[in-house]
């Protein structure tokens, strides 16, 4: 007999995590377990307020799917049972974990990846703050090779300038979280190109980015909020050079792998993204990251304490799951 559980858990964050839409000090996640014949698979999601999700709404969605999941549906059937989003992500990843453990097969094999999973290099996030504080944060973390800088509009050139001065050798990627205007895109991007910025995520609101159809950005632009699932890719390809794929948006590893393949076929580069969450959220992301050009899986690095067992982080190098927190 198969059983499903869904639990809300809180993980304190080391420091205030701040983006253009707000700040938080705790990562609230929903953890799903699916158990069958003495084997348990687990998945984790972060309800995404940007898409009107909350822990309560996610748990309600999962509860609606309980009967079908406990009756034995598989990963493919799940895609039609729940919409893209956090709820489906947690259940999808739990079923991947359960399937791999039950079949005694690696996740890489189930995902049709060649060879074993390899460690990946993640970007590390600097929260939105004053230029002085962001410069100080960059100095503290300047030993890490890739810094992801959260931005918020006015004052962003000063923020990036402070980070670049404090971490002159780091690779920089930026995330505006929909906070810029078209005028700021035009003004900022040539200067940021001179600062050796490698990409800028979601400068304009997802529903108001037509300006990008005719703008030739000197810095590659990545779609985050504009890129949710397969259905959004056609619009993304006309405006952006990179698709940021997050499992909490796609609704799990299954759709994320499909989005990555489709993005490649459209000529887009790809990025594995994450929310602030534990190793249980990152582990399926490491599978996706085997295929993507950029990787952002630093969630546990921002927490005051991760799960145990957890993924192994060596500096910014994230090692694949070994069967502890998730299937190998």
- Dist. CA 199–CA 137, nearest whole Å: 20
By three-state DSSP, how is residue 207 classified?
Answer: coil
- Dist. CA 157–CA 122, nearest whole Å: 24
Catalytic residue among 24, 246, 249, 269: 246
Strands 242-245 and 197-201, sheet pairing: unpaired
Write the DSSP string, 257-310.
HHHHHHHHHTT-EEEE---S--HHHHHHHHHHHTS-SEE---HHHHBSS--SS-
By three-state DSSP, how is residue 133 classified?
Answer: helix
- Dist. CA 134–CA 173, nearest whole Å: 14
| Residue closest to 68 by CA, chosen among 57, 58, 79, 56 | 79
How distant is the alpha carbon of residue 116 from its chain centre?
A: 22
How distant is the alpha carbon of residue 102 from its chain centre?
A: 27
Catalytic residue among 150, 235, 249, 269: 150
The reply to whether 150 belongs to the active site is: yes
Task: Output the CA–CA distances (angstroms, integers) from residue 255 to 2, 97, 192, 252, 267, in the order listed.
Answer: 24, 16, 33, 6, 18
Strands 120-121 and 39-45, sheet pairing: unpaired
- Dist. CA 97–CA 102, nearest whole Å: 9
Task: Output the CA–CA distances (angstroms, integers) from residue 18 to 90, 126, 212, 214, in the order listed.
Answer: 24, 9, 26, 31
Element (H, E) at 199: strand 197-201
Q: What are phi and psi of 118, to 5 degrees?
A: -115, 155
The reply to whether 269 belongs to the active site is: no
Tokens representing residue 239 in the block: 């405006």
List, by residue number, the catalytic residues: 150, 246
């Amino acid at each position: 007999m198969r059983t499903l559980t869904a639990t809300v858990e809180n993980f304190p964050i080391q420091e205030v995590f701040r983006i253009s839409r707000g700040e938080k000090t705790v990562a609230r996640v929903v953890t799903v377990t699916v158990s069958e014949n003495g084997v348990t698979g687990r998945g984790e999601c972060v309800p995404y307020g940007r898409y009107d999700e909350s822990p309560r709404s996610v748990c309600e969605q999962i509860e609606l799917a309980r009967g079908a999941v406990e009756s034995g549906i598989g990963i493919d059937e799940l895609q039609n049972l729940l919409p893209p989003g956090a709820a489906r992500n947690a259940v999808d990843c739990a079923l991947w974990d359960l399937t791999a453990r039950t079949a005694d097969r690696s996740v890489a094999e189930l995902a049709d990846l060649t060879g074993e999973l390899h460690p990946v290099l993640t970007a590390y996030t600097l929260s939105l703050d004053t230029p002085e504080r962001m410069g100080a944060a960059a100095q503290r973390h300047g030993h890490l090779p890739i810094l992801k800088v959260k931005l918020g509009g006015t004052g962003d050139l000063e923020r990036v300038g402070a980070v670049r001065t404090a971490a002159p050798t780091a690779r920089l990627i930026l995330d505006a979280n929909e906070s810029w205007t078209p005028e700021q895109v035009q003004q900022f991007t040539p200067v940021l190109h001179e600062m050796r910025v490698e990409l800028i995520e979601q400068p304009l609101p997802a529903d108001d980015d037509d300006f990008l159809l005719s703008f030739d950005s000197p810095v590659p632009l990545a779609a985050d909020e504009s890129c949710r699932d397969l259905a959004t890719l056609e619009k993304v390809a006309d405006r952006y050079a990179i698709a940021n794929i997050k499992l909490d948006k796609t609704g799990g590893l299954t759709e994320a792998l499909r989005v990555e393949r489709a993005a490649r076929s459209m000529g887009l580069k790809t990025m594995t993204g994450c929310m602030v969450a534990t190793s249980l959220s990152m582990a399926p992301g490491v599978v996706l990251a085997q295929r993507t050009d950029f990787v952002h899986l630093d969630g546990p690095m921002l927490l005051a304490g991760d799960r145990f067992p957890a993924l192994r982080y060596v500096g910014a190098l994230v090692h694949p799951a070994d069967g502890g927190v998730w299937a190998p």
